[in-house]
Amino acid sequence: MVVKDASAIDEAIVEAIIYDVMQQHLGPGTRLSEKSVCDRFGVSRMNVRRALLTLSNIGVVELQANKGARIRQPTLQQAMTLFETRRAIESIIIKSVVAQRSDADIISLNAHVELEEQAFSNNDRHQLIRLSGEFHLLIASFQKNHLLTGFMQTLITQSSLITGMYGQHSFSNCPPSEHRNLIEAIKNQDEHLALNLMMAHLGHIEADLALSST
């Protein structure tokens, strides 16, 4: 029972830090001292160390001897590779979801986009970035390959880091309307259109990043 409780505490710390990264409250390079994390969550250093190790294993945190932990700072090449990976993985996910989507899935997606539209109207960029990432995670959760679902969490979190470093702060390249169009294609089980919309959407997200080599 003690082990289970400790595991739940570790997971809660990991989820909270990932949330803060996706919301861009913790930007690339931000230092995470064990003491500050302990104080924030009211937990032991052992809990914090395990949580930071988990975050390091999924590429959110960098651990350095005698320097502690920092939120990872993806390089330009890593950023470009990530979007190549997302295009490959999300193509597989879209095909699967289009084939097996349910009415409940469509209702969930539409409800989520309503939150995105509210953030868009409020000009709340950080909230919109997090919600946009969660939209892609929601789609991934509708297919049955749990390995892909877990991998998408890592990709989306790292995308938030990349947006924090390289984003040009534009709303126009990723409006919620693109998600609305994608939902409609999924609802109609139009695989060809859904794939094209997803690739165009990822291209627009990437276009808002200053990823050109100098």
| Residue-wise pLDDT tens digits, 161-179 | 888 788 766 555 567 899 9
Which pLDDT band, with edges at 50, 70 and 90, does 65 fall under? Answer: confident
Q: What is the pLDDT of residue 119?
A: 92
In the chain, domain spans: 2-71, 76-207
Q: Would the pLDDT of 49 be above 60? A: yes
Helix residue ranges per DSSP H, 101-190:
103-121, 125-141, 146-166, 176-187
- For residue 211, pLDDT over 80 is answered with no
State pLDDT tens for residues 128-158: 888 999 999 999 999 989 889 989 988 998 8
Class of residue 70 by CB neighbours under 10 A (exposed 0-12, middle 13-18, buried 19+): middle
pLDDT at 118 > cutoff 60: yes
Q: Which of 197, 195, 202 is nearest to 94 (CA)?
A: 195
Neighbours of 39 (CB within 10 A): 11
CA distance 36 to 7: 20
76-207: CATH class: mainly alpha
Across all residues in the chain, what is the average pLDDT? 89
Considering the segment(s) 2-71 as one domain, its CATH architecture is: Orthogonal Bundle (1.10)
pTM assigned to the model: 0.82
Q: Which position has the token pair 């790292």?
A: 158
